[in-house]
Structure 1
Amino acid sequence: MSIVRTALPLVLLTSVLTGCAGLQKTDWPTCAAVGGVVGAGLGATESSSWAGYGALVVGATAAAYCWVHGDGDEDGDGVLDSRDKCPGTPRGVKVDADGCPPPAPAPVVEEVVVVKEETIVIRDVNFQFDSAKLTAADKEKLNTIATRLKQEAASAQLTVTGHTDSVGSDAYNQKLSDRRAHSVVEYLIESGVPRSSFVSVSGAGESQPVADNKTADGRAMNRRTEIKINR
C-alpha cells in the first residue's frame, strides 16, 4: 500500500504536466484548476488536512509548467506558437511554414509596344473625273481617316503621297497625283488634324504601282493615297 501511495502522486502529477504541455500558454488557468483538483486529491491520500496544501502546490506547479512549456496554435493557422513568426494571423489566411502570409505577388506590368511606323492606304477616294476635287462620298470616307489621325500624339509626323494608274502621260499623272494628295491633306486639316503634323505632301504619279495596270482591278488599286505615320 505504501508503494501505491508513493507512486500514485507521481503518476498523477506527471499526467497533469504532460497534459498541460499540449495546451497554449493562455490556458494556464485551466492547468491551475486541474492541478488544484489533482493536488487536493494527492494531499487527501496522506491526510485530509493536506488537501488544501496539495491543491495549492500542484495547481501552481501545473500553471507554471503550462506557461513555460505550453505550446499551441492561438491564431489557428496550423503552425504551433513556438514556431509561429507571425502570431495573430487573421482566420482563414493561408500561411507558410513560419506561420506568415506569403508575400503579395508582384504586379504584372504589361509592356506597351508602340509601332514606330504605320501606313494608311486610301483607295476608295476617287475624286471627280480628271480632277483633284473631292466628292461627297470621298469626304465621308476621309472623315473616318481624320478621326483616326486625331488620336495620334502631337509628335506624330505624317507623310502623304498620291498615286495614279498608268492611264495618261507620266508628266500629267505626276501633277494630278500631287494635286490629289494636297486635296486630301487640306480636307483632313479642315476636319481637325493639325497642319503641323504633315511634314511632307507629294505625288508619285504612276511610278509606284502595286498592281498590274493592264487590268481594271489593278488600275483601281494603283489609284490611291498613302499616309505614312512616323511616331
Structure 2
Amino acid sequence: MSIIRTAVPLVVLTGVLTGCAGLQKTDWPTCAAVGGVGGAALGAIKSSAWAGGGAVFGAGMAAAYCWVHGDGDADGDGVPDSRDKCPDTPQGVKVDAAGCPIVAVVVVEEVVVVKQEAIVVRDVNFEFNSARLTAADKEKLNIIAARLKKDAANAQLKVTGYTDSVGNEAYNLKLSKARAQSVVEYLIDSGVPRSQFVSVEGAGESNPVASNQTPEGRAQNRRTEILIIR
C-alpha cells in the first residue's frame, strides 16, 4: 500500500510538470496551485505535518518548471511563441491564430458609369414650316440646358433631328437638320459649351418611333435626340 500511496502523488506531480511545458510562462500561478496539491499529497505520505511543506515544495517546483519550460509570448499578442509565425507584431494589432496581423479586406463597390445616354426632346414644335423656336420651346430647352451643364459637363454631345412623314422627304431631311441646329444654338446660348457638340445631323422622317398614321404617332416622330457620350 505504501508503494501505491507514494506512486500516485508522484504520477500526479509528474503530470502537472509535463502539462506545464505546454503552457505559457504567464500560467505559472496555475501550475503552482496544482503543484502545491501534488506536493501536499507527497508530504502527507510521511505524515500530516509534512503536508504543508510538501505543498510549498510542489508549488515552487511546478511554478519554476512552468517558467523555465513554458511557452513565452514575446510580442504580447496572445499567441505562444511556439505557434507565432509573426513574432514581432506591434502592440495593439489584432492577430489571427498564427499570430500574424489580420488584414482587413476592403470591399470597393464598383461605380457603374453610364457611358451613353440619349435625351429625347419632344413637344418642341417650332414656328410653322420653320426652324425658329417658340417661347414655349425655349422654356423646355432651358430645363435641358440646366441638366446638361450639371450632369454632362465635358461630355460629347451628338444631336440629331427627326420629322414625321408628312411632306417631301428631301425637304424633311433639310428641315430636320435646321431644327436640330436651332436646338444646339439655343443650348450654346444657354451656357452649354460649343466644344461639347461633336455632330449635328438631320435624319428627316427616317427611324420613326411611332406610327405616322395618327396625329399622336407623328408628334412622337417630330423630335430631336441628344446623345450624351461620357
TM-score, length of structure 2 as denominator length = 0.68
The Cα offsets for residues 15-62 of structure 1, whole Å up to 9 and x where unpaired, read as 23434526653243454466467369628827979986x567544432
Kindly indicate whether residue 196 of structure 2 is the aligned counterpart of residue 197 of structure 1. yes
> Within 5 A, what are the aligned runs for 1:170-189?
170-189=169-188
The Cα offsets for residues 115-143 of structure 1, whole Å up to 9 and x where unpaired, read as 3x433221221123333232333223222
Q: Which amino acid aligns with 1:195?
A: R
Could you tell me which residue of structure 1 aligns to residue 168 of structure 2? 169
| C-alpha distance in structure 1 between counterparts of 2:203 and 2:104, whole Å | 59
How many residue pairs get aligned? The number is: 219
| C-alpha distance in structure 2 between counterparts of 1:140 and 1:195, whole Å | 20
Q: Which amino acid aligns with 1:223?
A: R
Shift of 1:64: 3.0
| C-alpha distance in structure 2 between counterparts of 1:50 and 1:176, whole Å | 116
| C-alpha distance in structure 2 between counterparts of 1:124 and 1:224, whole Å | 7
Contiguous gaps of at least 5 residues in structure 1: none
Q: Which amino acid aligns with 2:181?
A: H
Matched-pair contact (CA < 8 Å) for 2:131–2:182: yes
2:5 to 2, 5, 8: 8
| C-alpha distance in structure 2 between counterparts of 1:51 and 1:229, whole Å | 92
Could you tell me which residue of structure 2 aligns to residue 142 of structure 1? 141
Shift of 1:158: 1.7
Bigger drift between 54-63 and 133-142 goes to 54-63
Matched-pair contact (CA < 8 Å) for 1:39–1:59: no
Could you tell me which residue of structure 2 aligns to residue 105 of structure 1? 105
Q: SS where residue 213 of structure 2 aligns? A: coil
Matched-pair contact (CA < 8 Å) for 1:43–1:55: no
Shift of 1:191: 1.9
> Within 5 A, what are the aligned runs for 1:32-111?
32=32, 35=35, 38=39, 42=43, 45=46, 58-67=58-67, 83=83, 96=97, 98=98, 103-110=103-110
Matched-pair contact (CA < 8 Å) for 1:13–1:58: no
CA RMSD in angstroms comes to 4.4
Q: Which amino acid aligns with 1:110?
A: E
